[in-house]
Amino acid sequence: MKVLETQNLSKFFDGLKALNRVNIGVEKGSITLVIGPNGSGKTTFINTVSGFYRADEGKVFFEGRDITNKPPYEISKLGIVRTFQIPQPLKKMTVLENLLIAPDGYGESVLNTITGKWMNEEEEIVEKAFKILEFLKIDHLWDSEAQNLSGGQLKLLEVARAMMKDAKLIIMDEPIAGVNPVLSHDMLDRFVELKKMGISFLIVEHRLDIVLKYSDHIYVMANGSVIAEGKEEDILNNPRVVEVYLGASDSEVECGV
C-alpha cells in the first residue's frame, strides 16, 4: 500500500516547469529515495507535497485521501513531517525548545496553559527530546541558542525536530549533507528501525555512496520530471540516469569556461 502518491503533479515558475507531471509513490514502511542533479525539482516536489507551494496541476494523495493544496499545518496534522534543505532554526530559542514545539497540538490550547495542565505532558516530551538529542550527539548543546550552532549541527537539529513528531511519513531534504559518515549511518540505521515499525520515509539526498544501500525504492529526477525509478541496480545501470548525471557535469564544465 502506498502512503503517499502523486498524480501528474506539476509546478511552474514563470514558465519554468520545476515539476512536470511527476508521479512518485511511497510504499508504507519503506525508505524511498529521490535523487537527481541540482535544480531537478526535488525540493520543489517536497514543498508542493507538504503544502508550502501550490500545485499548478495534478494531485497529491496521502493514505488515499486528496491533500492537494491543503495548508501546511493541515498536512502536518495528518501525519506528514518534513525537514528543510536549508535549516530553519528558531534562532533565538534553545536547541531543546526547537524540539519542544514539534509534538502534535502541543501548546496550542490557551485553556491548558492557564490551568497548567501542560505540566503533566511536558516532562515526558522533554525526556523524549533529550533522547533524540543524545542519539544525534548534540545533547550537550541543549541550552544553547540555535543561532550559535554550526551548519552541520543545524542540519541535525532539522532531523531532530522531525523525529520529535510522531509522523507516519517523514520527508527529509538532504538530511545527511554536512553530517559525518559515522553519524549518517547511525541515523539511517535508526530510520530502518522506524520503518520496521511502519513509518515511511521519503528522502532526498545527494550522497548516494551512503544512502543508496538503505533505500527500498529510488526515483531519479531531471529537469522537473521523473526519468527513472526502481531498485539500486536498476538505477545504476540505467543509461538515462548515467547520461543525466554526466550531462550535468558537462554543462557545469561549459559554465566554467
Partner 1 sequence: MEEVIVTIALWFGFYTIVSLSLNLEYGFAGIPNFGRALAVLMGGVAVGGIFNRILIYAFGVSGDIITASAQIRSMTNDLIASNPVYGVGLLLLCLALAAILGAVTGALFILPSAKLSEDYLAITLLAISEVAFMVCNYNTAIIGGYYGVSTPDVLAFVPGEERMVAFTVVTLLIAFLVYVIVRRLTNSPFGRLLRAMRENESVVEATGKSVMVLRIKTAAIGSALASLAGALYSLYSVNVIATSFSRVEWTFYPFLMLLLGGAGNNRGVVVGTFTFVIVKILLTIYKHEIRTFLHLPFEAVWLEYILFGLLMYFVLLYRPEGLIKERPIFTAPIKKVVAKIRA
Ligand X SMILES: Nc1ncnc2c1ncn2[C@@H]1O[C@H](COP(=O)(O)OP(=O)(O)OP(=O)(O)O)[C@@H](O)[C@H]1O
Name the nearest CA neighbour of 87 among 1, 145, 28, 158: 158
| Spatial distance between the Cα atoms of 101 and 108, rounded to a whole number of angstroms | 10
Can you give 212-255 as a three-state secondary structure string? HHHCCEEEEEECCEEEEEECHHHHHCCHHHHHHHHHHHHHHHHH
Name the nearest CA neighbour of 99 among 58, 142, 60: 142
CB of 257 to Mg ion, least distance (A): 26
Q: Which stretch binds partner 1 (CB under 8 A): 6-14, 45-53, 212-220, 221-229?
A: 45-53
CB of 77 to ligand X, least distance (A): 24
Using CB under 8 A as the binding rule, whether residue 209 contacts partner 1 is answered as no
Using CB under 8 A as the binding rule, whether residue 66 contacts partner 1 is answered as no
Under a CB-based contact definition with an 8 Å cutoff, are residues 6 and 61 in contact? yes
Please give the residue ranges that form the binding site for ligand X (CB under 6 A).
13, 16, 18, 36, 38-44, 85
Which parts of 99-138 interact with partner 1 (CB under 8 A)?
100-110, 112-114, 116, 118-119, 122-123, 126-127, 130
CB of 115 or CB of 249, closer to partner 1: 115
Using CB under 8 A as the binding rule, whether residue 97 contacts partner 1 is answered as yes
CB of 42 or CB of 161, closer to ligand X: 42
